[in-house]
Amino acid sequence: MCSQALAGRVVLVGVDGAGWSVLDPLLAEGALPHFAALAEDGVTAELETVEPVISPTVWTSIATGRSPAAHGITDFLKNALDRRVPTVFERLAAGGHRVGVFDYLSTWPPSPLPHGFLVPGWMRRDDSVTPPDAFERAGRAPPYRYSLEGLRTKAEYLANSRRELSEKAPQWLALAKAFDVEIGALTFYSVDALGHRFWHDAFPASFDGDAPTPDPASAGAIREAYLGVDAALGRIRASLAPEDVLIVASDHGFEAGDGGRRVWTSSLADSLREVGLEAGREAFSFVSQFAVVTIRVQQGPLAERDALTEKIAAELRGMRAAPDGEPLYSVFVVDGAERPPDAKRPVGERLRQWAVRQGAWWLFGTEFGADAHAWVLAQPRENVLNALWPDGNVAVNGAQQPVSELAAPDDFTGKHHPTAIFLAAGGPIHAQPARLRLSVLDIAPLLFHLAGEPLPDDLEHALPAAVFEPGWLAAHPPRSVPAASLPPPPRPAGAAVGDEALRERLRSMGYIE
């Protein structure tokens, strides 16, 4: 390393959640001209994925050529410090190639890629990139990075996806040009984000009578996302030469969920403010209002904080179906800091709090640190809210108001399907009409070979020979090299940080409850 590239530039475009069940009908009606051109000019395949079928795990298998048991990224809370093996991007960068990686999952904290750049994906814990001035060098001010921060409603998810689909390709092209990238990767997430929330709206016929009522106004959301990705692919492919290779892959597809799953998002700040309980001004803050409302009461004088905790809990318990109906929330209080000996809770109360802690952790991933005086939890009572939605009223602070002002449901109706998509064209890629069957573990060997490098012997799959022109592959047969003989790749460096903010994003995506 570094060898002469066997093709020109190589760009891997990830489309999280894209599946043939949606792609094929859109291709048939001529709605995706750039996907169609890739299929016409090159090769397509059904791509077998790995277990568990979750985005960070599969994208890491794509990047490493290794199974989850080998690379270690088996859940959403793992990061690059937990990864046990190097990525193809790190290895090629260590060998002298100019590598650029944009918005790729499980790459935080980012590795320094010599002569290239790395922008971590949406599960990042901060906005660090390598090099730190990557966006400035590309002339991108302000820089764009896909984010799920603060999203709650379907309208917000749709607006966020539209922004990604309009801004990501220009950002990528500017970065790739600034760093003269030879091997690049970027990922789009909108298809996945909308698939979870809009599947029933788009494909109501795939559900039985237990599913939520579809929203006709949202019927075109998933289609719009595919069209947006298609337009982005057109811009990216237009920047490439005939000898360059463009690869498009997903980590999984989508299908109808088992009747859908409803999660309630609450908006309680205004109601508490009306009785003098304003987050930030008083000594409390909202940690989450998605699914279970979690309120953190700050440490301070014991009697004062106990009174504040009880006042918050009492207000939440008093929210009811109007006019004199059942409570909207089941409310629990959990102590944070250790209480002094003369203020210990009775044994029964301590046992109850222990049970609440365990249940909140197992069901919702909620953690309770000792850095709080107490935590107030309000779990929506689904049977009550379902009966009120969408036109019922609730009683709050002695007055009636529409339930829609206090809470709103999220219906998660799409789930992951284990077959992903693969398309590739350009350079030595063999144009063929038949759809192949490949694996996500085939992509790393493909990237090594196109870069002109031997395949490390720790990759789990051989080179997928069927994607190449036969004569070209005969003239450029794959080589192997002991992985231990390769230059040591750059490794991520960073300190461990708390995961509660990431947990909240994952809850809002429906990935953890």
162 assigned to some structural domain: yes
Give per-residue pLDDT as tens, 49-99. 999 999 999 999 999 999 999 999 998 878 999 999 999 999 999 999 999
CB-based burial of residue 228 (10 Å sphere; 0-12 exposed, 13-18 middle, 19+ buried)? buried
pLDDT of residue 504: 62
pLDDT band with cut points at 50, 70 and 90 for residue 364: low
The answer to whether residues 69 and 209 belong to one domain is yes
More confident call, 50 vs 259? 50
Measured CA to CA, the distance from residue 120 to residue 257 in angstroms comes to: 29
Give per-residue pLDDT as tens, 113-137. 999 999 999 989 899 999 999 999 9
Instruction: Give the residue-averaged pLDDT of 302-308.
Output: 96
1 assigned to some structural domain: no
- Report the 3 state secondary structure along 94-158: HCCCCEEEEEECCCCCCCCCCCCEEEECCCCCCCCCECCCHHHHCCCCCCCCCCCCCCCCHHHHH
Residue 497: pLDDT above 60? no
Examine the fold and report which residue of 378, 405, 432 is the final residue of a domain before the chain moves on: 405
The answer to whether residues 378 and 423 belong to one domain is no
Instruction: Give the residue-averaged pLDDT of 338-354.
Output: 93
pLDDT of residue 295: 93
Instruction: Give the residue-averaged pLDDT of 303-332.
Output: 94
Express as a percent the part of the chain with pLDDT over 70. 93
468 assigned to some structural domain: no
Asked which of 36-50, 102-116, 119-133, 196-210 is least confident by mean pLDDT, the reply is: 196-210
3 assigned to some structural domain: no
The answer to whether residues 283 and 256 belong to one domain is no
CATH assignment of the domain containing 453: 3.40.720.10
pLDDT of residue 151: 76
Helix, strand, coil percentages in the chain from 3-state DSSP, rounded to 5: 40, 20, 40
Residue 401: pLDDT above 70? yes
126 C-beta neighbours (distance < 10 Å), count: 11
Residue 317: pLDDT above 70? yes
pLDDT band with cut points at 50, 70 and 90 for residue 288: confident
Instruction: Give the residue-averaged pLDDT of 2-20.
Output: 87
pLDDT of residue 75: 86
Residue 192: pLDDT above 90? yes
131: cis peptide before it, omega within 30°?
A: yes
The answer to whether residues 362 and 431 belong to one domain is no
pLDDT of residue 370: 77
The answer to whether residues 152 and 210 belong to one domain is yes
Express as a percent the part of the chain with pLDDT over 90. 76
Examine the fold and report which residue of 363, 382, 405 is the final residue of a domain before the chain moves on: 405
Residue 405: pLDDT above 80? yes
- The CA-based angle 437-84-192, given to 5 degrees, is 50
134 assigned to some structural domain: yes
The answer to whether residues 138 and 25 belong to one domain is yes
The answer to whether residues 235 and 303 belong to one domain is no
How many separate domains does the chain show? 2
pLDDT of residue 360: 79
169 assigned to some structural domain: yes
356 assigned to some structural domain: yes
Residue 496: pLDDT above 60? no
- The CA-based angle 235-240-244, given to 5 degrees, is 140
Across the chain, mean pLDDT equals 91
Examine the fold and report which residue of 356, 386, 405 is the final residue of a domain before the chain moves on: 405
Give per-residue pLDDT as tens, 322-339. 887 999 999 999 999 899
Residue 283: pLDDT above 80? yes
Domain interval for residue 113: 10-260+414-462+477-509
Residue 281: pLDDT above 90? yes
pLDDT of residue 1: 58
The answer to whether residues 323 and 210 belong to one domain is no
More confident call, 413 vs 424? 424
pLDDT of residue 180: 97
The answer to whether residues 181 and 67 belong to one domain is yes
Measured CA to CA, the distance from residue 305 to residue 343 in angstroms comes to: 13
The answer to whether residues 295 and 430 belong to one domain is no
The answer to whether residues 152 and 281 belong to one domain is no
Residue 374: pLDDT above 90? yes
The answer to whether residues 399 and 430 belong to one domain is no
Residue 100: pLDDT above 60? yes
Asked which of 195-204, 223-232, 432-441 is least confident by mean pLDDT, the reply is: 195-204
472 assigned to some structural domain: no
Instruction: Give the residue-averaged pLDDT of 344-361.
Output: 89
